[in-house]
Amino acid sequence: MTQSHIKDLYKFIFKSYDKPFLKQHIKKFMELDEYLPYSSTFFCVTNTQDLTFEYVSKNYNACLGLDAKELKAKGMRYFWQRIHPDDIDAWLQALNSLMEFTLSNITVDKRKDANYTWNFRLKNADGVYVNVIQNTTPLVFDSAGKPVIGLAHYTILDANIKMEITASAKLLNMHNEYETIYFNNYSQKLLSDGISNRERDVIRLLVLNQTSKEISDKLNISSHTVDTHRRNILKKLNISSTGELIGMLKTKQHWL
């Protein structure tokens, strides 16, 4: 395959992004996958309505030592059964929160510009739980505007790397650059124990470097109320400053 042919494939896939024709997408992904090098990342075309994988790339076997045909035959439930038992609850919370955030905060016309990332540990063919970072871009939506078909990239990291389960949502801005609009850490209990939902909203916006005025505008509350939430958060977390809080939380998302 020539370089120009590969570029043409990429152009086709992303040119038809606004009105994707799934069979054509998958056909082109399959053609492109044949020539992509082996790496620590594999991709799948996911179907959350049927809990199936429309396509699984060749690197699935290279990354995990597992059979792609078996994954396609058994679907998502088989894949989920391989997630580390200790990660299940946090992983489910992350997925539910991302869906709730999408339906509540991203308009239907902008959802095609969204991108989601989360992580978990998965058992490979040797019985070792390796770290998996999943990044998913929606391709097709149902009548309610929920993403049902997506392009998912899975990056495999060494099992010895300790990672807390986090999730984020990004959205393309007017400059076609992804901006983080949602982030949460589902392994860090101090952010779930004793912190109210409104305080959690404030924390999320603080991590995005929003000022009290910007936070008050986005949450439709006064700047005084934002400052009260900030003081309460610091007291609950036994932290001396907002800067310390932001620094602590940002270190938890260095891999995003």
pLDDT cut 70: percent of the chain above it: 84
Least confident of 16-20, 234-238, 249-253: 16-20
pTM, 2 dp? 0.66
Residue boundaries of the structural domains of the chain: 37-187, 188-256
Whole-number Å distance between alpha carbons of 72 and 85: 22
188-256 shares the fold of 37-187: no
At position 67, the amino acid (one-letter code) is: D
pLDDT cut 90: percent of the chain above it: 38
pLDDT, average across residues 173-180: 88
* Cα atoms in the 13 Å half-sphere on the side-chain side of 167: 19
pLDDT, average across residues 197-215: 84
* Tokens 């505007």 -> residue: 145
Asked if the model's pLDDT at residue 43 lies above 70, the reply is yes
Q: In the structure encoding, which two tokens stand for residue 174, read together?
A: 């007017």
In the prediction, which pLDDT does 90 show? 87
- Of 29 and 62, the structure prediction assigns the larger pLDDT to 62
SS3 167: strand
In the prediction, which pLDDT does 226 show? 92
pLDDT, average across residues 207-214: 83
Return the CATH fold of 37-187. Beta-Lactamase (3.30.450)
Spatial strand order in the sheet of 178-185: 52-56, 41-47, 147-157, 129-141, 114-123, 166-172, 178-185
Q: How confident is the model at residue 198 (pLDDT cuts 50, 70, 90)?
A: confident
In the prediction, which pLDDT does 8 show? 57
Q: Which of 57-71, 192-206, 214-228 has the highest mean pLDDT?
A: 57-71
Q: How confident is the model at residue 17 (pLDDT cuts 50, 70, 90)?
A: very low
Q: How confident is the model at residue 208 (pLDDT cuts 50, 70, 90)?
A: confident
Return the CATH fold of 188-256. Arc Repressor Mutant, subunit A (1.10.10)
